[in-house]
A and B are shown apart, each in its own frame.
Chain A
Amino acid sequence: MTIVSGKAEARRRLQPATSDVLRKMWEHRADYAYVLPAIAVMLIVIAYPIYYTIELSFFNTPPGLQLRDKIFVGFNNYTAILTSGVFWQVTFNTLIWTAASTFISFVLGFAAALALHRDFIGRGILRAILIIPWVISAVAASYIWKWIYHSDFGIIGAVLVELGWATRPPNFIDSVSTVLPSLIVVNIWREFPFAMIMMTAGLQTVPEQLLRAAKVDGANAWQRFWHVTFPHLRNVSTVTILLLAVANFNSFIIPWIMTGGGPSNASHIWITHIYELAFGRQRWGVASAYSVLLFIILMTLGYFYVRALSGNERKDGSA
């Protein structure tokens, strides 16, 4: 008896709610009409490609056939990827690339921000100089570094030989063992200014009065950093690290231009590998399957990014 009435109650409550939503939408039909074009454009340029990529990932596209004659293969592309040795090598490279670039860029950027937070003569100029790598186009930077690393004409090799630290210039980007670290150095050089700018902005919001209070409470410079500055920067640090991680996961220009993924896949990361599969070898299906996997990983990172951002807002609202 009670259960029945409970169900009836629930239905009664539910029904007005749905019609409420519809009625509200109808009342606001003009508003919906205004945003409709934008939604339509977004569906075409964002949603459709995502859908098409997912669709393609279930098909085989032999180079001899037209794309519309693609052959359905189910999850074959996914199993082929997950069982191939190259996949694991590229994944390993991507993880190393992302983790090392993100972590070191963040630490360097944070250190630079702290160093430049104090007022001293020439601070503005130094700050401007440090931002240059971030401003230079990645393509240009890649070519510059290719020359810097060059085994015959590169300046690093020449200096090392001149100093007597090497008998002949090392093969930075032509050797399987050194290519990835060498590219990571370039990537860090290019993106640590981003971390520096983010952390500088964060540092400027640390309340002066809290630092003074800590000073009076007897905290030394390191303790003030640890108990006041660092906790205050937790959210901006999270956001910076996530943005760097997403950018690094998605890196393409530096490895593609400097090495094209070689030698023997030693510097291939996911995006360069997908690009090569799709546009180099016309294996659209496999490349799409790769993309879907990458999409899932990045969406997960994106979820944490949004959560970190809303965490920020919650805190600002109450402060």
Chain B
Amino acid sequence: MAHVVLKDLVKTYGSFKAVNEVSLTINDGEFVALVGPSGCGKTTTLNLVAGLTSATSGDIFIGDRVVNDLDPKDRDIAMVFQNYALYPQKSVYMNLAFPLQMRKLPKGEIDRKVREAARVLDMTQLLERKPRELSGGQQQRVALGRALVRDPAVFLMDEPLSNLDAKLRVQMRSEIKRFHQDLKATIIYVTHDQLEAVTMADRMAVMNGGYLQQYDSPAQVFAHPANMFVASFVGSPAMSLIPLEASMGNGGAVLTSAEGWSLELSPRNAQKVARATTKKVVLGARHSTIKLHKSAVPGAIPAKAYTVEPTGDVTFVQALLSGAIVNISVSPNIAVTPDEQIWLEFDQERMHLFDSETEMALEAN
């Protein structure tokens, strides 16, 4: 296993910048998820690490080697692809053996490694089958196995679960997590599904438009999103973002809505607002940090229920507030009907404030 360092990595296609000065350090044995919407540059970044595309500028280190000019086969990496990329004419055994054959290992050693990988992934009984005789989950396990036999310095995984159905995806998610824990492998995992990143990764690198937005542990990213993009991308349902106007006065601060209501901020939040470059700020709140009241309470803001989505454990209520849709989760025994008058109370400790101009999170100090 080895650590991986990306330094000011840039990849341009003509005038289009797919990857923009991305710098990342992935520690030895760490599971890092590259996450972002389609076209954010996450797969390009992975291909740069794999050597399937060459960087326009910047450096890639695997271990202590600069690998910029090395072929994929010389980088000591293994890759798992979205469509599994199994060789259809070869049996599972031959698929697993292929990377070892290419490295001209002795037959006995290949056989030992293939059988060991098959045992670890619990597919010894599948070795003689052809890929088309396997289910999607089994195929993906073979793809993992083909990466495993190589014993590479780094595992690269490109959306390995997105071809599976929902139930299987959850199951394979824990299998890959287990795989990482058992092997203590360095894994770079690309996904567009923030839930996969949050549940599996030690650290997640959120990307958008070719830029790295935030690189931290899922808990930190969730609790302290660096900007409005990360805030709205990570977490489900997404964080509600409400555009408001800030006004300062006698040591405190008040957020006013165009709808007429206003919200008095705590001293700490007032401090944040004071650092904004503009008076327009955006209030961010996750569904679980908003309290729903059925009657007027001091400090609560009047709103109208828009839709109600019971999910069993919790009921999600969407309300219209200052032109934005606000998600609130409530206990299923609280009955809310659409168009009902409700009052919302924000948790000042757990609310987020963003500069609407720079879209960056406002910090107290």
Chains A and B are bound partners = yes
- Asked whether any CB of chain B lies closer than 8 Å to the CB of A231, the reply is yes
Beyond A209-B82, A217-B146, whether A227 also contacts B98 by CB under 8 A is yes
Q: Is the CB of A217 within 8 A of B81?
A: no
- Asked whether any CB of chain A lies closer than 8 Å to the CB of B244, the reply is no
Q: In the bound complex, how far is the Cα of B349 from the Cα of A246, in angstroms?
A: 81
Which residues between 200 and 215 of chain A lie within 8 Å of chain B, taking CB atoms?
A: 207, 209-210, 212-215
Q: In the bound complex, how far is the Cα of B71 from the Cα of A20, in angstroms?
A: 66
Q: Is the CB of B83 within 8 A of A216?
A: no
Q: Which chain B residues lie closer than 8 Å to A217 at the CB level?
A: 73, 98-99, 102, 146, 150
Beyond A215-B73, A216-B77, A218-B99, whether A319 also contacts B88 by CB under 8 A is yes
CB distance from B316 to the nearest CB of A (A): 38
Beyond A318-B132, A319-B132, whether A218 also contacts B73 by CB under 8 A is yes
- Asked whether any CB of chain B lies closer than 8 Å to the CB of A223, the reply is yes
Q: In the bound complex, how far is the Cα of B77 from the Cα of A207, in angstroms?
A: 21
Q: Is the CB of B79 within 8 A of A213?
A: yes
- Asked whether any CB of chain B lies closer than 8 Å to the CB of A219, the reply is yes
Query: Residues 219-245 of chain A: 1 if any B CB is under 8 Å from the residue's CB, otherwise 0?
Result: 100010001100110100000000000
- Asked whether any CB of chain A lies closer than 8 Å to the CB of B87, the reply is yes
Query: Residues 191-225 of chain B: 1 if any A CB is under 8 Å from the residue's CB, otherwise 0?
Result: 00000000000000000000000000000000000
Q: In the bound complex, how far is the Cα of B86 from the Cα of A232, in angstroms?
A: 12
Count: A-B pairs, CB below 8 Å: 59
- Asked whether any CB of chain A lies closer than 8 Å to the CB of B258, the reply is no
- Asked whether any CB of chain A lies closer than 8 Å to the CB of B237, the reply is no
Q: Is the CB of A216 within 8 A of B88?
A: no
The number of residues on chain B lying at the interface, defined by a beta carbon within 8 Å of a beta carbon of chain A, is 23
CB distance from A236 to the nearest CB of B (A): 14
Q: Is the CB of B87 within 8 A of A228?
A: yes
Q: Which chain B residues lie closer than 8 Å to A315 at the CB level?
A: 132
Q: Which chain A residues lie closer than 8 Å to B83 at the CB level?
A: 207, 209
Q: In the bound complex, how far is the Cα of B85 from the Cα of A319, in angstroms?
A: 12
Q: Which residue of chain A lies nearest to B71 when distances are taken between CB atoms in the complex? A: A215
CB distance from A126 to the nearest CB of B (A): 25
Q: Which chain B residues lie closer than 8 Å to A213 at the CB level?
A: 79, 81, 85, 87
Beyond A231-B89, A319-B132, whether A216 also contacts B79 by CB under 8 A is yes
Q: In the bound complex, how far is the Cα of B270 from the Cα of A25, in angstroms?
A: 85
Q: In the bound complex, how far is the Cα of B88 from the Cα of A286, in angstroms?
A: 51
Contact of B103 among A212, A214, A216, A218 (CB under 8 A): A218
Leading 3 A-B pairs by shortest Cβ distance: A218-B73, A218-B102, A213-B85
A and B contact pairs by CB, cutoff 8 A, 16 listed:
A209-B82, A210-B87, A212-B52, A214-B87, A214-B98, A216-B78, A217-B73, A217-B146, A218-B73, A227-B90, A231-B87, A231-B89, A232-B88, A232-B89, A234-B89, A319-B132
**Chain B interface (Cβ < 8 Å from any Cβ of A):** 50, 52, 71-73, 77-79, 81-83, 85, 87-90, 98-99, 102-103, 132, 146, 150
